[in-house]
């Protein structure tokens, strides 16, 4: 069946929750994906910061085949399984946190975090369940995570939200302080806001948040769903600022393309959730945890992180060169391989033109082009992407 036929059936079969581009993706190799018609695209999207090892990674394939060949894909949380245990051990080592809860997605990881911080807060003082999050933040689409999300456009059609959430201006410690009260139990922050437009938290702000939390006995929750897993040149983005966090949430890159999320907590929170408090049928699934175990082994080796730092410096330099050439570029921002190009104009037409030229690039809001490629992207592939971007910009802005 051809692409249009396939898309026509898709439109009749799937809910219209996404505004897909008219391409059907069917395969991938390295940093390139292939559509149904056989056209290949250099990929700066990576399934939105998910496919961090790129496509057809031999180690990831072997890890998945290992589980499949063993015959047990899933065993529930009534029993232990070696993949979940190994992946949790690696996460502990990489993060210096103390316990892991596995789930399936970023929003679920944040739901677990919300339940945990509220239970902990309430155990300290009656009604201590209020949560501060940041304006322009994004924490997910389920009701708790959506209530935590500081972007009214995502909440409006689904009101009422859960109570007890307050939204502070990002990178503004006085704004956060103004919202703190005796009922505040936690502050959620993304070290680099993703959906909000690829905006890094300053090191100063993260350190100030840590101090504020310590001073008021408030839990600091780092949502690393998008910026974590090596993407910024650190295993987890908050680590750049040298702070510790009390809770961290992960998903996206954790499984290298296999759905998995995780909520990690510091030692003092290790026993807050007890049997019966929380769960997820698929949490700790063997296939997902084998994928995570392999991806985490790559982060532990350290080479991948070094690579991210090196190629990121190259990409930033090339983007800055473009900025001096194209005045419609307002700002280049981000960390590591999580970069945004803020444009004066809406970016959707640029994204479509890039696709025509064989390059996938995403947006973050209407005016920001977002690059979150596989972390394995090479310098040559970056140069190729820049060449295509230049061509597209030249013809769009001539």
- Considering the complex, state which of residue 109 and residue 353 has its C-beta at the smaller distance from ligand PLP: 109
Tokens (6 digits) for 267: 């030692």
C-beta of residue 25 within 8 angstroms of C-beta of residue 51 = no
Extended beta strands in the chain, E state? 25-29, 32-35, 40-43, 99-103, 130-134, 165-168, 184-189, 192-193, 199-200, 219-223, 247-250, 261-265, 329-335, 338-343, 359-360, 362-363, 368-371
Q: How far is the CB of 224 from ligand PLP (least distance, A)?
A: 8
C-beta of residue 7 within 8 angstroms of C-beta of residue 22 = yes
- Considering the complex, state which of residue 237 and residue 329 has its C-beta at the smaller distance from ligand PLP: 237
Q: State the angle between helix axes of 303-325 and 286-301 in degrees (0 to 180), rounded to the nearest 10.
A: 80
* Matching residue, tokens 């009101």: 159
Q: How far is the CB of 76 from ligand PLP (least distance, A)?
A: 22
Q: How far is the CB of 189 from ligand PLP (least distance, A)?
A: 10
User: What spatial distance separates the first Cα and last Cα of the chain, rounded to whole Å?
Assistant: 38
C-beta of residue 50 within 8 angstroms of C-beta of residue 252 = yes
> Which ranges of 125-202 would DSSP assign to H, the alpha helix?
143-148, 152-155, 173-177
- Considering the complex, state which of residue 43 and residue 195 has its C-beta at the smaller distance from ligand PLP: 195
Q: What are phi and psi of 62, to 5 degrees?
A: -65, -40
Q: How far is the CB of 291 from ligand PLP (least distance, A)?
A: 15
Nearest to 367 by CA among 315, 328, 316: 328
Q: How far is the CB of 128 from ligand PLP (least distance, A)?
A: 24
- Considering the complex, state which of residue 128 and residue 139 has its C-beta at the smaller distance from ligand PLP: 139
Q: How far is the CB of 391 from ligand PLP (least distance, A)?
A: 29
Q: How far is the CB of 220 from ligand PLP (least distance, A)?
A: 15
- Considering the complex, state which of residue 284 and residue 393 has its C-beta at the smaller distance from ligand PLP: 284
Q: How far is the CB of 221 from ligand PLP (least distance, A)?
A: 11
Q: How far is the CB of 141 from ligand PLP (least distance, A)?
A: 6
- Considering the complex, state which of residue 128 and residue 252 has its C-beta at the smaller distance from ligand PLP: 252
Q: Which residues bind ligand PLP (CB under 6 A)?
A: 105-107, 110, 138-140, 190, 194-195, 223, 225-226, 251
- Considering the complex, state which of residue 105 and residue 363 has its C-beta at the smaller distance from ligand PLP: 105
Q: How far is the CB of 1 from ligand PLP (least distance, A)?
A: 29
- Considering the complex, state which of residue 248 and residue 308 has its C-beta at the smaller distance from ligand PLP: 248
- Considering the complex, state which of residue 256 and residue 388 has its C-beta at the smaller distance from ligand PLP: 256
Distance between CA atoms of residues 141 and 144, nearest Å: 8
SS3 103: strand
Distance between CA atoms of residues 313 and 56, nearest Å: 26
Nearest to 186 by CA among 176, 196, 195: 176
Q: Which residue is nearest to ligand PLP (CB)?
A: 106
Region of 171 please: left (phi>0), alpha (psi -120 to 50) or beta.
Answer: left
- Considering the complex, state which of residue 144 and residue 194 has its C-beta at the smaller distance from ligand PLP: 194
Residue 24 exposed, middle or buried by CB count within 10 Å (0-12, 13-18, 19+): middle
Task: Determine how many CB atoms are found less than 10 A away from the CB of residue 380.
Answer: 8
């Amino acid at each position: 069946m051809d692409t249009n036929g396939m898309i026509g059936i898709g439109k009749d079969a799937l809910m219209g929750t996404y505004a897909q581009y008219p391409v059907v993706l069917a395969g991938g190799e390295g940093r390139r994906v292939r559509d149904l018609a056989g056209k290949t695209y250099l990929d700066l999207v990576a399934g939105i910061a998910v496919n961090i090892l790129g496509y057809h990674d031999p180690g990831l394939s072997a890890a998945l085949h290992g589980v499949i060949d063993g015959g047990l894909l899933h065993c529930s949380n009534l029993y232990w399984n070696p993949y979940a245990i190994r992946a949790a051990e690696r996460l502990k080592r990489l993060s210096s946190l103390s316990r892991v809860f596995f789930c399936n997605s970023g929003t679920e990881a944040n739901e677990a975090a919300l339940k945990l911080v509220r239970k902990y807060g309430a155990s300290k003082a009656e009604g201590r369940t209020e949560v501060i999050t940041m304006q322009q933040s994004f924490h997910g689409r389920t009701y708790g995570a959506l209530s935590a999300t500081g972007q009214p456009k995502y909440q409006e059609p689904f009101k009422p939200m859960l109570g007890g959430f307050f939204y502070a201006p990002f990178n503004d410690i006085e704004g956060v302080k103004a919202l703190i009260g005796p009922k505040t139990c936690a502050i959620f922050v993304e070290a680099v806001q993703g959906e909000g437009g690829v905006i890094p938290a300053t090191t100063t702000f993260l350190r100030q948040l840590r101090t504020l939390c310590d001073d008021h006995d408030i839990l600091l929750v780092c949502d690393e769903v998008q910026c974590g897993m090596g993407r910024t040149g650190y295993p987890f983005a908050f680590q750049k600022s040298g702070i510790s966090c009390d809770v961290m949430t992960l998903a996206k890159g954790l499984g290298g393309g296999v759905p998995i999320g995780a909520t990690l907590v510091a030692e003092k929170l290790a026993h807050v959730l007890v049997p019966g408090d929380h769960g997820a049928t698929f949490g700790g699934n063997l296939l997902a945890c084998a994928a995570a175990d392999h991806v985490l082994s790559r982060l532990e080796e350290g080479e991948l992180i070094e690579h991210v730092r090196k190629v990121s410096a190259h990409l930033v330099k090339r983007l800055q060169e473009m900025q001096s050439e194209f005045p419609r570029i307002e700002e280049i921002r981000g960390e590591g391989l999580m970069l945004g190009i803020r444009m004066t104009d809406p970016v959707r037409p640029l994204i479509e033109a890039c696709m025509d030229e064989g390059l996938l690039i995403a947006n973050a809001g209407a005016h920001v082009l977002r690059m979150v490629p596989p972390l394995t992207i090479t310098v040559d592939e970056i140069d190729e992407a820049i060449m295509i971007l230049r061509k597209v910009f030249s013809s769009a802005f001539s």
